[in-house]
């Protein structure tokens, strides 16, 4: 709540649904009041309330008092505070925002892993109640604890054959290291994501039911084995940040994908890399051709007719 408190006023009665369905907090307003009583929050001044207003609101107030409405937000804030009486401002902004006290800032800064996990629900095996267990041995290096947890979870999913979960865990890992600007490592993780997106395998995949799965693999237009647009965007965004040209990116992806193995493989490493670039350019004709070629190889390899 300390990480959200500055968004709420003393009169706020509408709160995000997650306070109840994720954390069982039926009365967030009471929690804010309690945090203020315990010294973690204080009620902001009218000046602080003015500072968090939107530019549109500030201009509306200035117009109402026949004052200039030009300039950047900082100028508008200063003009409102210095040119309008305290009584008028008090009436205009009767609601006061909560402000962190030094004690509140210390409490929030001492546990950065809690708001981090809240804002990263894709790390599905951790929540704000269990994250401290994952990072308890890492002191100030809490991200190392989360990274270790992700690696452990990756092994669990692989052993269980939960290839969809495995893929999602690798995507979490890619985003995690990208947050630290480690884009080459992130791209390697994304290469794994690409491989499994194009493998046709999900959770509880079994070759025994391949004849059923086969109906959903080809042709390209109705295949479940395709790349998510967001993954493709991340690949080329991170490659750009690492100043990789297309040839270098192709080699990086190929070098990783050629090492991958799985119970089902629909495309060669060369085809997978080509699909990444064709999806970027939305070259449907060439994509269709690759899937057609791969379908014949698939039928021959797995003897499905």
Express each pLDDT in 16-65 by its tens digit: 999 999 999 999 999 999 999 999 999 988 888 888 889 999 999 999 99
Q: What are phi and psi of 114, to 5 degrees?
A: -70, -55
pLDDT of residue 127: 92
Q: Considering the entire predicted model, what is its pTM? A: 0.84
Structure tokens that stand for 50 in this block: 């003015």
pLDDT of residue 93: 84
- pLDDT tens, position by position, 160-187: 999 999 999 999 999 999 999 999 999 9
Structure tokens that stand for 159 in this block: 């052993």
How many Å is the Cα radius of gyration of the chain?
27
DSSP letter, residue 22: T
Q: What are phi and psi of 200, to 5 degrees?
A: 80, 5
pLDDT of residue 304: 63
For residue 113, pLDDT beyond 80: yes
Which residues are bridge partners to 43 per DSSP? 98
DSSP letters, 199-211, are TT--BT--GGGHH
pLDDT of residue 305: 58
- pLDDT tens, position by position, 136-161: 888 779 999 999 999 999 999 999 99
DSSP letters, 50-69, are HHTS-HHHHHHHHHHTT---
**Per-domain residue ranges of the chain:** 5-109, 161-302
DSSP letters, 85-111, are -HHHHHHHT-S-BEEE-HHHHHHHHT-
For residue 86, pLDDT beyond 90: no
For residue 105, pLDDT beyond 80: yes
48 contacts 21 by C-beta, under 8 angstroms: no
C-alpha–C-alpha distance, residues 242 and 248, integer Å: 10
Torsion angle, CA of 286/287/288/291, rounded to 10 degrees?
Answer: 120
pLDDT of residue 109: 94
């Amino acid at each position: 709540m300390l990480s959200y408190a500055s968004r709420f006023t003393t009169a706020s009665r509408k709160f995000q649904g997650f306070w109840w369905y994720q954390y069982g907090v039926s009365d967030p307003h009471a929690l804010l009041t309690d945090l203020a009583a315990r010294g973690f929050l204080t009620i902001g001044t009218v000046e602080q309330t003015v500072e968090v207003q939107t530019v549109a609101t500030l201009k509306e107030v200035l117009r109402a008092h026949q004052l200039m409405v030009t300039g950047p937000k900082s100028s508008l804030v200063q003009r409102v505070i210095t040119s309008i009486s305290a009584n008028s401002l008090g009436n205009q902004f009767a609601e006061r925002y909560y402000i962190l006290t030094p004690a509140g800032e210390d409490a929030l800064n001492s546990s950065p892993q809690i708001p981090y996990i809240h804002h990263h629900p894709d790390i599905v095996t951790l929540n704000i109640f269990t994250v401290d267990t994952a990072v308890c041995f890492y002191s100030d290096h809490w991200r190392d604890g989360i990274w270790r947890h992700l690696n452990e979870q990756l092994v669990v999913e692989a052993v269980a054959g939960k290839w969809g979960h495995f893929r999602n865990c690798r995507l979490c890992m890619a985003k995690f290291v990208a947050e630290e600007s480690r884009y080459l490592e992130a791209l390697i993780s994304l290469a794994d994501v690409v491989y499994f997106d194009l493998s046709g395998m999900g959770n509880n995949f079994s070759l025994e039911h391949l004849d059923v799965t086969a109906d959903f693999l080809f042709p390209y237009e109705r295949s479940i084995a395709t790349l998510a647009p967001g993954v493709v965007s991340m690949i080329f965004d991170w490659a750009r940040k690492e100043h990789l040209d297309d040839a270098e990116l192709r080699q990086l992806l190929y070098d990783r994908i050629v090492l991958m193995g799985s119970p089902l493989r629909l495309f060669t490493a060369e085809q997978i890399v080509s699909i990444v670039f064709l999806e970027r350019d939305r070259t449907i004709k060439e994509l269709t051709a690759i899937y057609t070629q791969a379908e014949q190889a698939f039928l021959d390899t797995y003897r499905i007719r």
